[in-house]
């Protein structure tokens, strides 16, 4: 019965979701080209506020815990498990005070209204996972950006989304570059739960009535750990807190 109900709700959801992407494409362009970085950043934050609220059509609710642990005016590296594309709007909206950027695959840098524009011009790293010579310099550039400006970056070191909620092994290379070139930053483990249920049937229909949970754990200051220690501690913290 739940799956049957989800069909019309998913159609309505995609119509509204797509409308927001189209509306905010020119808004982003104007903000970026006329008013500059901060205006563009705010336009992206409000876009994701509307995208997040649009998921309420599907009965989706959110719990975000632990933001009070985050140090103000410090560069942060959010390290999270990855379950669906619906992991992303909550990061942009709820962590907006830390100017979140993303380590993202380069294919998302074109063809998607609003999303591609933000990834290209908002400071994120667009990488080719099969080409380290391209990917690592892009991650380095992003690391230096967040380190010099007290911004944040979100990385999903599993590489691909988990379709069942069971996390995959974390990849080392991207985290190692961030560790090396953002020496003033903190690794912030984040555990995401139930996002995979949004796409339990695939992209159509979407799952309904899900409660997505984002748990922010204690930040780990890079300067207090060698890479192997902080990598192991971060991965264990993210995975051990999945219920």
Regions of the chain short of the pLDDT cut 50: none
The per-residue pLDDT for 129 is: 83
pTM, full prediction: 0.94
CB 222 within 8 A of CB 230: yes
| Tens-digit pLDDT profile for residues 137-169 | 999 999 999 999 999 999 999 877 777 778 888
Segments of 50-179 assigned E as strands: 61-65, 76-80, 100-105, 125-127, 152-155
For the chain, what are the domain ranges?
2-240
Q: How far apart are CA 109 and CA 120, in angstroms?
A: 6
| pLDDT of res. 213 | 97
Domain 2-240 has CATH 3.30.420.40: no
List pLDDT tens digits, range 45-69: 999 999 999 999 999 999 999 999 9
| Residue from 167, 134, 146 nearest 78 by CA | 146
Coil/strand/helix, residue 38? helix
């Amino acid at each position: 019965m739940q799956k049957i109900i989800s069909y019309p709700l998913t159609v309505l959801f995609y119509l509204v979701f797509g409308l927001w992407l189209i509306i905010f494409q020119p808004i982003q362009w104007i903000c970026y080209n006329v008013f500059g970085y901060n205006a563009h950043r705010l336009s992206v934050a409000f876009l994701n506020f509307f995208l997040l609220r649009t998921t309420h059509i599907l009965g989706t609710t959110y719990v975000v815990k632990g933001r009070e642990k985050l140090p103000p005016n410090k560069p942060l590296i959010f390290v999270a498990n990855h379950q669906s594309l619906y992991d992303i709007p909550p990061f942009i909206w709820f962590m907006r005070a830390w100017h979140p950027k993303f380590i993202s695959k380069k294919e998302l840098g074109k063809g998607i209204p609003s999303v591609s524009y933000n990834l290209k011009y908002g400071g994120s790293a667009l990488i080719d996972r099969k080409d380290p010579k391209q990917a690592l310099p892009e991650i380095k550039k992003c690391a230096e950006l967040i380190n010099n400006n007290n911004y944040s970056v979100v990385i999903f070191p599993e590489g691909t989304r988990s379709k069942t909620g069971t996390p995959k092994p974390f990849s080392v290379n991207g985290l190692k570059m961030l560790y090396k070139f953002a020496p003033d930053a903190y690794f912030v483990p984040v555990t995401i739960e139930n996002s995979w249920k949004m796409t339990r049937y695939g992209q159509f229909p979407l799952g309904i009535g899900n409660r997505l949970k984002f748990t922010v754990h204690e930040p780990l200051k890079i300067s207090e750990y060698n890479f192997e220690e902080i990598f192991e501690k971060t991965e264990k913290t993210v995975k051990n807190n999945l219920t």
